Structure 1
Amino acid sequence: MYIKVQPKQLVRHFEIDAHIFEPQGISMLDAEASFITNDLLGSALTKSFSGKKGHVSFKPSLDQQRSCPTCTDSLLNGDFTIVYDVNRESPGNVQVVNGYFVHFFAPQGLPVVPKNIVFVIDISGSMAGRKIHQTRDALLKILDDMKEDDYLNFILFSTHVTTWKDSLVQATPANLEEARMFVKNIRDEGMTNINDGLLRGVHMLKDARERHLVPERSTSILIMLTDGDANTGESRPQKIQENVRNAIGGKFPLYNLGFGNNLNYNFLETMALENNGLARRIYEDSDANLQLQGFYEEVANPLLTNVEVEYPENAILDLTKNNYPHFYDGSEIVVAGRLVDSDMNNFKADVKGHGALNDLTFTEEVDMKEMDAALKEQGYIFGNYIERLWAYLTIEQLLERRKNAFGEEKENLTAQALELSLKYHFVTPLTSMVVTKPEDNEDQTSIADKPGEATSVTPSMAYLTQQPSFPNPYYYVDGDPHFIIHVPGKNDTICFNIDEKPGTVLRLIQDPVTGITVTGQIIGDKGSGPSSGTGKTYFGKLGITNAWMDFRIEVTTEKIILGNGEALSTFRWLDTVTVTQTGLSVTINRKKNMVVSFGDGVKFVIVLHQVWKKHPVHQDFLGFYVVDSHRMSAQTHGLLGQFFRPFDFEVFDIRPGSDPTKPDATMVVKSHQLTVTRGSQKDYRKDTSVGTKVLCWFVHNNGEGLIDGVHTDYIVPSLF
C-alpha cells in the first residue's frame, strides 16, 4: 500500500494508522519511506504482526516533522509504503463469502517469455514537430530495455509503408545499435495509411512464426502509434477493423496508442479490443515520451501466455472472464463467480498457462470451514464485499463487450449491465446520467452512447434552475477582457483590462500546491485575427487542470471536454448535467454557466455569453469567476491568482477626470503610486444577459503597477 505524504506544512497531530487482516496468516510486514530518518525510525514508526493480524503506526511529533531543528517546513514528502506477505507458497488467493468467491492470481519470479514485437509508427505530416521528436525519444529508451531473447522490427507508415528490416531480427547488441540509428533518422512525411501499415505488421509477425524465425515458446505483440484518422489507402474505419481482425485471427494482441486529441479514439479502442488488446491515449504534453515508455513497460515482461482459470465442473455460476492471452509481470488476474452449493466443504481452483520454459499449473485449495472461521474474526471489513466485487467485474466486462456489439446483442448486454448497476447501486455509464433537453423535446440520451466517454457522473434527472450561492471575496474576468478584484478588507473593487491580440493565451491561476492551473485564450470580433489591432477581445476558450488528479477541462463557446486520465467526455452547452468524482464536481447549467468545484474550498463559475448568430461583428465568449478560493495556497499566482493573498491599497485626491462621469484619483498599491479612474463593470454570475453593475477603480496600461511584473509575463504558449 502506497500512501502519498506531502502536507507542505507542520501538522500538530499527524498519524498513519494501518490495521491489516489476512485470513491466511502474515509471514512478513514492513513499512518504509524515503523521508524517514533514524530518529523517526526509532520512535515515530512502529510495526508488528502476529497470526492473521498486523499493525503499522507512524506518528511523528511536531519537532520530528521539521526539516531542521529550527525550520518551519516539513520533511514529510514522498510515498509511505506498507508491504506484507502471507503464509503460503501459491501465487493465488481465494476468498469465499456468502456463496460468492473471488480469486486473485499474481505469480512472481517466473522467467520472462521472449517476445516478438513489431512497432507500427505513424510518420505522417501531422506528426511533425514535438510528436515525432517525443516518439523517437521513447523508442530509443524502449530499445535500451529490450532483452537479447526478444525479436523486433519497425514499420513506418505515411502515404506509403516502409520497414526497417524485411523480417524480425533478434535484439542483439549489434542489431539494437543499428535500430537506434534507424529510429534517430525517422522523419515525418505524407498522409496516413493505417490499414496498410497494420496489415504489413500482422504479416511480418505471422511470417516469422510460420518460418520458425522466432523461438517456439515466444509471444507476438503488435503496437501501433498514430495521431490521426486514416486519410489515404483504405480510409473507412469499419473496413480497416475488418481487415485487421481477419488478418490477426486471434493469434496475438494489438495495442493501439492514440497520440493527442484530434483522432477517432473509439475506432482505435474498438479495433484493439477486437484483437485481445487495449487502446491508450497519449496526451501531447512535455512527458509524452514517458507516457509511451510507460505503456511499453506494462507489456515488456510477459510471464505466461494462454492463461486459463478452471474451477470444479458444475460447481460455479455466473463466472467472470477466466481466460487471458497474456499475463504480464506487475499485473493481476481477478476472477469472481457464484457457488452452486454455498455449503461445500472444499473449493479448488487451477490456473494453467504456457511459460517461458514449460507449461505450468498452479492449484489453490481452500478449506471452506476454516475460511469462514477466519473471516468471522474480522467480518466487518468484508460484509457483502465479495458479492459486490463480482457484480463490479461483471458490469465492467458487459460494458466492454457492448462496445463491439450491435443490434439485439447490444440491447441484451445493455439490459444485463443496467439491471446489475441498479441492483448494486453502481455509478455506470448506463445509470449515472440522463441529459435532459426541456426546450427541444429531444429524447433523453445516455452517456454510454456518446463517443469516447468514460467519466463517472451523478444522476441529473431534472433541469437545474437554481443558481449557486457565491461567498465573498470574489475575483473574475469577463467582457473585453476586464479583470475585477474584490478586496474584502476595503469593501471595494479594483479592475483592469488586458489588451492582447486574438490567439494569445494568458495564465489566470497557477497553484503548485493544489496542482490547479487555469488559462484562457483570447478571441476577437468576427474578422479579427492575430494581426488585428482594433476591435474588442474576449476569452473564447478556457483550460482548467488539476495535476494531482490527472484531470483537465477544456471549455469553448460550443462544447466542454472533460479529460480524466485517458478518458474524455464531451458535453454541449445544451446539456444539463453534473459530473462528479472524489474531490471534484462539474455542473453544466444549460446555455447559462458551469460550476467547477475542487473539494470544499475551490469553486469556479464559467459564464456563457451568446450573441445573435448572424451578428455582423460580435461572437460568443466566456466569463470566468472565482467564487471560492480559501483552500488555494499562498503560492498561487497568475493574473487572478496573485490577488487571492491579502493586499492593501489607498485611494486619495479624488478629482474630475476627462470624462465628467468618471473621476480620477491617486492609488498607492504594492509600493506604486498610480492614477486610477472610477468606472463600472458588469457581474454576470446571476444574470447572464443583463448582469449586475459593479463600481471599481480602473488601473490603466494593462494593470501596470497593480499586477506583479508586466502583463506579457503571463502569456503562455498553449492552453495546457
Structure 2
Amino acid sequence: EAQTFSWGSKRKTPELEWCSVVSRYTVTTVESSVWNQLPITKEAAFEVDLPSSAFISNFTITSNGKVYMAQVKERAAARKIYDAAKKQGKTAGLREIEKFRVAVSVPSGTQMLFSLTYEELLPRRLGRYELSLGLRPGQLVQNLTVDVSITERTGISFIRVLPLKTNRLLSNTAQGDTDAPSSTHVEQQACCARVHYSPTLQQQNSISSKGLNADFIIQYDVDLRDLLGEVQVYDGYFVHYFAPRGLPVVPKDVIFVIDVSGSMIGTKIKQTKQAMSTILEDLREGDHFNIITFSDKVHTWKKGRTVRATRQNVRDAKDFVKRIIAEGWTNINAALLSAAQLISPSSSSSSNHLSSRRVPLVIFLTDGEATIGVTAGDTILSNAKKALGSASLFGLAFGDDADFLLLKRLALDNRGVARMVYEDTDAALQLKGFYDEVASPLLSDIQLSYLDDQAFDITRSLFPNYFQGSELVVTGKVKPGVKDLKVSMSAIDSKKEVKFENDVLASHIKGNGRISSFVHRLWAYFTIKELLLAKLNTTDPATQRLLADKATNLSLKYNFVTPFTSLVVVKPDAAEAAQTPTTTAATITTTATTTATTKISVAGAGKKPNSPSNLDGDPHFVVQLPKLHHNLCFTVDGRANDVLRLLEDPERGIIVDGHLMGAPPKHGVEERSRTYFDLLTVSSDTGGSGDIMITLSLDAVVVEGEGRDTLPVNQQGSVRRQGVTVSVDNHRSCWIQLAKDVQFLVLFHQYKHPSYLQMAHLGFYITDGRGLSASTQGLLGKRECWVTRTRATWWIAYNSSWASSTTLPHRCKAHSHGNCLDSNKRTMSRNCASMLSQ
C-alpha cells in the first residue's frame, strides 16, 4: 500500500505487497517503485497506512543501485538528528503511529524503490482472524501484486477473501459467502494457504479511473482440537494459543451504562439507540441486565437490581431506550458507582454458587470527559476499582473528544478492555460488533501456568474471562535443557472449576528463519505491548522510567519502531540521486498509540447549568427555542480567523464574540475544514463609569475596566468590577456573572498528549440566560430568523449582525426530545421552519 508516482510515457511501475503469516504472526512488506521520465526533478511520496497494533521493523530506499537502510534509534537520539537536519534546512519528517510517510526528490530519468516492513499479531475475534492490506497507489498501476502466504501448524479450517472494501465503514457483508475480487487466486492445503491478487489495468479502471483506494481483506480460522490449545517451542522461546471450542456459554449480568449528556445530542444518541435495540434483542434468557443513563444526574431503568432477559423485560427496556434524551453534563464517577451497586450483589453471591453463576460485565459508553461531580481521574479510578469488585468493565470512547486514556485505565484496573468508537455512519455497527465480542463468556479466571524451573520471562498468563470466538496468547522463554514443557490450565466454566495439564515437546533444532524466528519476535512484540500498558497504568515516575527503559531496550534489540523509538533514515536528495555525494537526513518518529487528555471539570463555583445554549468543539451550537420543548442544533462552516457574533443584547449592553482557529481535517473528509474557538471576548455596559471587557484566551482571562487584571487559567482566582464577577476555579473553568440571571461559563479544553485531531480550545456556555432581553441576537441569542432554500439545501440565516459583516451559512438541525434531525431532508426543513416561526 503506497503512493506510487509515474511521470512521462507509460512504463511498468510496480507496486508489490507480500505478507507472510506464521501461526497468526504477520510480517508484511510493501514495495513501490517510482520512475521519473520527465525532464525535470519531481517529488515522490511513499505513504502507508499501518494497523494500529503493528510495529515497523524495516525501511529502505534504493536509488541508482544504492540501498539506504533506516535505523531504529532511541527517541532522544533520533530527535537530535531531526533537529540538526531542520537547522541545516534539510528535509525532516514526523510520523504518527498509524501512518508512515516519506517524500524524496526524484531527478529526471531516475528510478527509486521504497520498501517498508511491519509486524503484528492477528487477534482472533468472532471466530476468525482478519488480515487487512491497504491498496491505495493513487493511480492505475501496471504491475500491482498482493501475495499472502499463511502457515498454521494445527490446520486451516477455512479461508475466504472478501470483496474490496472501498471505504472505512463496517458493513454486514463481511459475513457468509462473498465473491473475492477478480484476479484473486486462493490455494489451500491442510496447514497452509496462498492468496494471490494482481488486477489488470482494465480491472483497476473498472473500479476507479484514479486507481484502487481499498482494503484487501482475508479472513480465516484454524483447527484447534486440544482443549488446552496449541503450544509451540522453538530456539528457547514458546508461544501458547488458548482458544477452546465447544464449551457451554455462561450466563451474564450485564449493565449498560450510557452517556446521555448534551454532547451526545443528534447522530450519536440516535446511533446508540439503534445499537442498543439490536443488542437487547440478542440477550439470552439466562442473562440478567439493567440500563443506566447518566449526564449530571444518573437514572437507572430498574432500581436496585438486574432483571432476567425475558421477552417482556427486553420490550420494556427497548421502550426505555427510545425515550432517552441527551442533555446536561457528564458525571462519570456517579455512573460507575451506580453500576457497581447493581452488579456487586449478584457477582458476590455467584462466587459461592457455581451452579447459578453469572459473569458480571459493565459496558460503559461515553463521548466526553468528566465535567461535574468527581472529575479527578485518579479519584474516579480508585472509586471504581473499590466498587466494581470482580466485575469486568469494557469502556467505549465515542468520538475524538472522549477521554480515551481514562477509559483505558478504568478497563485495565477492572478486568476489561477499552475501544474507540469512531464518529461515522457505521457507529451503530461498531457498538454492536464490540458487544458481540463479549456477549458469550465461556470461562472465567483463567490461569495458564508453566513450571518455574522450566520457563521464565512469561507474559501475562492470568485472564479474567475467555469469550467465545476469541483467543488468549502467552509467550515466554524456556530454560536450556528442557525437553518437555509442562503446561497447566485452571478456570471456572458455567458450573465448576476445571483443570487440565499437558506436556509439550520442546524443539531445540534451529528451524528455518521463517518458521522458528517468529516465536522469539512474537515474545518481544508481546512484552513491549505489556510494558506499554503497565506504564500507562502506573502514576509512579520511577516505575514509569523503569518500564520505559525496558521497552526501549527491547525495541532497539528487535528493531521495532514503538512509542519509545524513532526511525531515522538518511534519504537521497536530488543531487545524490544524480551521482553527487550530498545527502539529506530525515527522521520518521512515532507518537504514542494512545492519547492522554486533561480532565476538564466544572465545579460548583456557580449554579448548575440550566440552559442548553452552548457552543463547544468544532463549532457546533445548541440553542433552546423559546416557549417550545425543542432545541435547535447546528454547525457553522467557519474559516480560520473568522470572528462570530455569538450573542448581542442591545438592551443590556452585552456582546460576546468568538475568534476561530483552523484545525487539521478528519481523515476521509479532507475537503471539509475544521475550526475551534481560541479567543472569546465578553463586553458589558454596566451603566457605571465605563464598559467591562473580558478577554479569554487559552492561557489567561483579562478583565479590563477601571484597571486591568489578569487571571491565569491554571489557578484559582476572581475579580469583581461594577457588579460583574469573573471567577476562575481550579478545574480550568471561568464563571462570568454579568447581572442577576445572566451567567456564562467558559471551559478551557487542554490535552496533555493530543492526537492530531485534538486541539486546545474554548467552550462557551450560557448557564443562566433568564436575564437576557427579548431583543437578544447572535448565534446563541433569542431572535427572529427565517429559512431559505439554496441549491436544494436548507439553511438558516439570522437577522443578526456578524462581527465580520458577512452572512455565514451553517447547517441546521432541529432538536426535539434529545434528537437532532438533519435539515438536509426537505421534510425536516419544513419542521424546522414551523418551529422557528413559533
When normalised by structure 1's length, the TM-score is 0.57
**Residue 2 of structure 1 contacts residue 82 of structure 1 at CA under 8 Å; is this kept in 2?**
yes
Q: Which residue is equivalent to 2:755?
A: 569
Counterpart of 1:220, as a letter, is: P
338, 363, 379: which one pairs with 1:223? Answer: 363
Q: CA deviation at 1:34?
A: 6.0
658, 662, 665: which one pairs with 1:544? Answer: 665
- Say which structure, 1 or 2, has more relative contact order (CA 8 Å, 6+ apart): 2
Q: CA deviation at 1:61?
A: 7.8
Counterpart of 1:395, as a letter, is: I
Q: Which residue is equivalent to 1:175?
A: 313
> Separation in 1 of the partners of 2:521 and 2:286?
43
Where in structure 2 are the equivalents of 1:486-505 lying within 5 Å?
none
Over 3 Å counting, the alpha-carbon distance change for 1:285 and 1:530 in structure 2 is farther
Q: Which residue is equivalent to 2:596?
A: 452
Counterpart of 1:107, as a letter, is: P
229, 234, 238: which one pairs with 1:92? Answer: 229
Q: Aligned with 1:347: secondary structure?
A: strand
Counterpart of 2:497, as a letter, is: D
Q: CA deviation at 1:172?
A: 0.9
Residues 456-515 of structure 1: CA deviation (Å, up to 9, x unaligned) = xxxxxxxxxxxxxxxxxxxxxxxxxxxxxxxxxxxxxxxxxxxxxx989xxxxxxxxxxx
> Separation in 1 of the partners of 2:456 and 2:437?
32
501, 516, 532: which one pairs with 1:399? Answer: 532
Q: Aligned with 1:272: secondary structure?
A: helix
**RMSD, aligned CA:** 4.9
Residues 1-35 of structure 1: CA deviation (Å, up to 9, x unaligned) = 546697999987676544444445x4756555569
> Separation in 1 of the partners of 2:200 and 2:567?
46
**Residue 365 of structure 2 contacts residue 396 of structure 2 at CA under 8 Å; is this kept in 1?**
yes
Q: Aligned with 1:326: secondary structure?
A: strand
> Separation in 2 of the partners of 1:197 and 1:407?
30
Q: CA deviation at 1:72?
A: 10
Q: Aligned with 2:394: secondary structure?
A: strand
Q: Which residue is equivalent to 2:325?
A: 187
Counterpart of 2:639, as a letter, is: I
**Residue 520 of structure 1 contacts residue 539 of structure 1 at CA under 8 Å; is this kept in 2?**
no
Matched, 1:271 2:415: no
Matched, 1:107 2:251: no
> Separation in 2 of the partners of 1:39 and 1:165?
46
Q: Aligned with 2:565: secondary structure?
A: coil
> Separation in 1 of the partners of 2:376 and 2:210?
59
Q: Which residue is equivalent to 2:375?
A: 235
Residues 45-95 of structure 1: CA deviation (Å, up to 9, x unaligned) = 463536x65555567888999989xx9999999866464645854562222
Over 3 Å counting, the alpha-carbon distance change for 1:5 and 1:210 in structure 2 is closer
Q: Aligned with 1:409: secondary structure?
A: helix
Q: CA deviation at 1:393?
A: 1.3
344, 359, 364: which one pairs with 2:482? Answer: 344
Q: Which residue is equivalent to 2:494?
A: 356
Q: Which ranges in structure 2 are unaligned for 5 or more consecutive residues?
A: 1-129, 165-175, 569-588, 598-617, 621-635, 649-657, 679-697, 699-752, 761-806, 814-838
Counterpart of 1:403, as a letter, is: L
Q: CA deviation at 1:339?
A: 1.2
Over 3 Å counting, the alpha-carbon distance change for 1:95 and 1:60 in structure 2 is same
554, 560, 564: which one pairs with 1:430? Answer: 564
Where in structure 2 are the equivalents of 1:597-616 lying within 5 Å?
none
**Residue 637 of structure 2 contacts residue 810 of structure 2 at CA under 8 Å; is this kept in 1?**
no
Residues 234-286 of structure 1: CA deviation (Å, up to 9, x unaligned) = 3333222222111123x111222233333433333222222122333333333
Q: Aligned with 1:293: secondary structure?
A: helix
Q: Which residue is equivalent to 1:125?
A: 262
> Separation in 1 of the partners of 2:758 and 2:329?
31
284, 288, 293: which one pairs with 2:423? Answer: 284
Q: Which residue is equivalent to 2:287?
A: 150
Matched, 1:198 2:323: no
Q: CA deviation at 1:306?
A: 0.5
Q: CA deviation at 1:400?
A: 1.0
**Residue 65 of structure 1 contacts residue 76 of structure 1 at CA under 8 Å; is this kept in 2?**
no
Counterpart of 2:533, as a letter, is: E
Where in structure 2 are the equivalents of 1:16-55 lying within 5 Å?
17-24=147-154, 26=155, 31=160, 45=185, 47-49=187-189, 54-55=193-194
Counterpart of 1:420, as a letter, is: L
Residues 402-427 of structure 1: CA deviation (Å, up to 9, x unaligned) = 12321332232223223322332322
Q: Which moved more, 1:425-434 or 1:189-198?
A: 425-434
Counterpart of 1:102, as a letter, is: V
Q: Aligned with 1:313: secondary structure?
A: coil
Q: CA deviation at 1:220?
A: 0.2
Over 3 Å counting, the alpha-carbon distance change for 1:287 and 1:88 in structure 2 is closer
Counterpart of 1:400, as a letter, is: L
**Residue 357 of structure 2 contacts residue 495 of structure 2 at CA under 8 Å; is this kept in 1?**
yes
When normalised by structure 2's length, the TM-score is 0.49
Q: CA deviation at 1:229?
A: 3.0
**Residue 90 of structure 1 contacts residue 364 of structure 1 at CA under 8 Å; is this kept in 2?**
no
Q: Aligned with 1:146: secondary structure?
A: coil
Q: CA deviation at 1:387?
A: 1.8
257, 276, 282: which one pairs with 1:139? Answer: 276
Residues 89-135 of structure 1: CA deviation (Å, up to 9, x unaligned) = 45622222221111122222322221100112222333333332222
> Separation in 2 of the partners of 1:570 and 1:43?
38
Over 3 Å counting, the alpha-carbon distance change for 1:93 and 1:547 in structure 2 is farther
Counterpart of 1:94, as a letter, is: V
**Residue 94 of structure 1 contacts residue 364 of structure 1 at CA under 8 Å; is this kept in 2?**
no
Q: Aligned with 2:387: secondary structure?
A: helix
Matched, 1:298 2:437: yes
Q: CA deviation at 1:540?
A: 4.0
Over 3 Å counting, the alpha-carbon distance change for 1:319 and 1:254 in structure 2 is same
Over 3 Å counting, the alpha-carbon distance change for 1:123 and 1:148 in structure 2 is same
Over 3 Å counting, the alpha-carbon distance change for 1:362 and 1:545 in structure 2 is farther
> Separation in 2 of the partners of 1:362 and 1:317?
21
Over 3 Å counting, the alpha-carbon distance change for 1:553 and 1:116 in structure 2 is farther
Counterpart of 1:541, as a letter, is: G
**Residue 184 of structure 2 contacts residue 195 of structure 2 at CA under 8 Å; is this kept in 1?**
no
252, 258, 266: which one pairs with 2:391? Answer: 252
**Residue 20 of structure 1 contacts residue 54 of structure 1 at CA under 8 Å; is this kept in 2?**
yes
Counterpart of 2:375, as a letter, is: S
Residues 307-338 of structure 1: CA deviation (Å, up to 9, x unaligned) = 11111232111111000001122322111111
> Separation in 1 of the partners of 2:638 and 2:514?
50
> Separation in 1 of the partners of 2:644 and 2:203?
63
Over 3 Å counting, the alpha-carbon distance change for 1:10 and 1:91 in structure 2 is farther
Over 3 Å counting, the alpha-carbon distance change for 1:527 and 1:290 in structure 2 is closer
Aligned residue pairs: how many?
486
Where in structure 2 are the equivalents of 1:634-713 lying within 5 Å?
none
> Separation in 2 of the partners of 1:553 and 1:527?
16
Counterpart of 2:380, as a letter, is: I
Q: Which residue is equivalent to 1:388?
A: 521
Q: Which residue is equivalent to 1:367?
A: 505
Q: Aligned with 2:396: secondary structure?
A: strand
> Separation in 2 of the partners of 1:41 and 1:428?
34
Counterpart of 1:101, as a letter, is: F
> Separation in 1 of the partners of 2:135 and 2:592?
37
Q: Aligned with 1:544: secondary structure?
A: coil
